[in-house]
Amino acid sequence: MKRIGSYLSLIKFSHTIFAMPFALIGFVLGTKNVAFEFSFFKLLLVILCMIFARSGAMAFNRFLDKNFDAKNPRTAIREIPAGLVSANSVLIFTIINCCLFIICTYFINQLCFYLSPIALIVVLGYSYTKRFTNLCHLILGLGLSLAPIGSYLAVTGSFNFIPLLFSVCVIFWVAGFDIIYALQDERFDKENKLFSIPASMGISKALVVSKFLHLMSALALVASGIIGNFGAMYWIGFILFVGMLVYQQSIVKPNDLRKVNFTFMTANGIASVVFSCFVIMDLFFYSK
């Protein structure tokens, strides 16, 4: 059990809450928009895909960054540098999760199966990006943004503009809060020639970029609400989601980073879950 706990901690399993609600939005949107039957088996497969893809991506990130993590006082307590799990076992864990992800997509539909290697390239490739581009935050957002469009494809086997707008929202939302999280490592990233917005622009300017990205995320939700002809429940969820974005931006200051972890986990987890609940209620009870 202790070893299982180490792996759950390694992959930050609780952080699955960020993208999972948007995957559920995409799934329900698919069942409502095209009159597909609601399948609990397919929903289970979508959830498993989310878990396996994210677990593989996080494990690979920890494997690839093990040497940097060992040098950084903030991350030296992570499982690999702390000796709780071996690097080789984490790599095997990554491969197993990727294989399970592909197997699950095979049982969903052909399109998801054929696209599964591309999805893995995106979510695994993020781990390399901090070595050569400040756009690493957007690449992370791109990886998590596969959740709503991927779950919609699982139901329908076809693309649609509305779930794509939700994916755009996720890209900017995740990139915005990842910049806030990266503020903690501004000095370390500079010293080790790693790329990030805070390391490149400084903390104050990085927070401005984060605010801009969150504004873009909100605008994507406005567009999806208007184009998708959503009802009142959607807009209540939208107001609450944007309210959480404004709140997290307001409590992180250039000279006070004590609440970074709170904004990263708690505020964004609440924002994602609450918004998805209102959108799904709108789709079930108020959509035409």
CATH assignment of 2-285?
1.10.357.140
- State which residues of the chain have pLDDT below 70: 1-9, 11-15, 33-36, 286-288
Given this model, what pLDDT does residue 32 score? 82
Rg (CA), the chain: 19
Both tokens of 41, joined, read 């088996």
Please choose, from the candidates 64, 268, 264, 53, the residue with its C-alpha nearest in 3D space to the C-alpha of residue 144: 53
Q: What pLDDT score does 35 carry? A: 65
pLDDT score at 217: 98
pLDDT at 261: 78
Question: For residue 3, what pLDDT is reported?
Answer: 63
At residue 164, the pLDDT reads 97
The pLDDT score that the predictor gives to residue 275 is 97
Backbone dihedral region of 151: left (phi > 0), alpha (psi from -120 to 50 degrees) or beta? alpha
Alpha helices in the chain (DSSP H): 2-10, 20-33, 40-64, 66-71, 87-106, 110-129, 136-156, 161-182, 186-191, 197-201, 203-227, 232-251, 260-261, 268-285
